[in-house]
Amino acid sequence: MKSVKSLAMLVAAALIMNTSFAQEKTVNVGGAPMFPSKNIVENAVNSKDHTTLVAAIKAAGLVETLQTPGPFTVFAPTNEAFDMLPKGTVETLLKPENKGTLTSILTYHVVAGKLDAKELSKLIKAGGGKTELKTVAGGKLWASMKGNKIMLTDEKGGMATVTIGNVYQSNGVIHVIDHVVLPRS
């Protein structure tokens, strides 16, 4: 009788856990659901489209930082975005001796706070069509709209489009972008 009661309690607990995940509004990124109850790193490691970004985050030693409560807004370049960089750039940046440069590039993709598309749109409208964002690296990104898409312009004049927005995390929000944005050297 005691084992039946224990089994029933385990089944009930499993159902409650499955229900809580089922109720989460997930967004699929890179073929994997991104759970709002998980942090940026816990979700990003499951995206097949962000293996280069995850490798770079690990090489730069930013895993622990991106697991803290934040909140952070991360503009996450896809593998294809990294592939657009000149040949050999990613491999060079992943070398231990280039950790400082890699860290500054990655933190240039991060803004303190939780800026979802609605908040970014409000800031863009209030700024007359453009808003300046201060990155964790200390640089600046400019967000604007092109139709209904949010665009980013970096300090070198490069542009990226948010292709998947509002991927909510327990410690912020991720916006997937189609180009790597770069700080002024």
Task: Enumerate the domain spans of the chain.
Answer: 26-177
Mean pLDDT of 139-161: 96
| 3-state secondary structure labels for all residues of 26-92 | CEEECCEEECCCCCHHHHHCCCHHHHHHHHHHHHHCCCCHHHCCCCEEEEEECHHHHHCCCCCHHHH
26-177: CATH topology is: FAS1 domain (2.30.180)
Say what the pLDDT of residue 23 is.
56
Q: State pTM to two decimals.
A: 0.84
The structure tokens 């916006």 sit at 175
172 with 166: CB under 8 angstroms?
Answer: no
Read off the pLDDT of residues 36-55 as tens digits, 9 standing for 90 and up. Answer: 898 888 888 888 999 999 89
Angle at 178 between CA 56 and CA 71, to 5 degrees: 60
> So what's the pLDDT on residue 157?
95
- For residue 150, give both structure tokens: 């949010």
Q: How confident is the model at residue 18 (pLDDT cuts 50, 70, 90)?
A: very low
Task: Please enumerate in sequence order all residues whose Cβ is within 8 A of that of 59, keeping only pairs 6 or more positions apart, or say none.
Answer: 93, 94, 96, 99, 102
Tokens of 61: 């030693």
Burial of 72: CB neighbours in 10 Å, binned 0-12, 13-18, 19+: buried
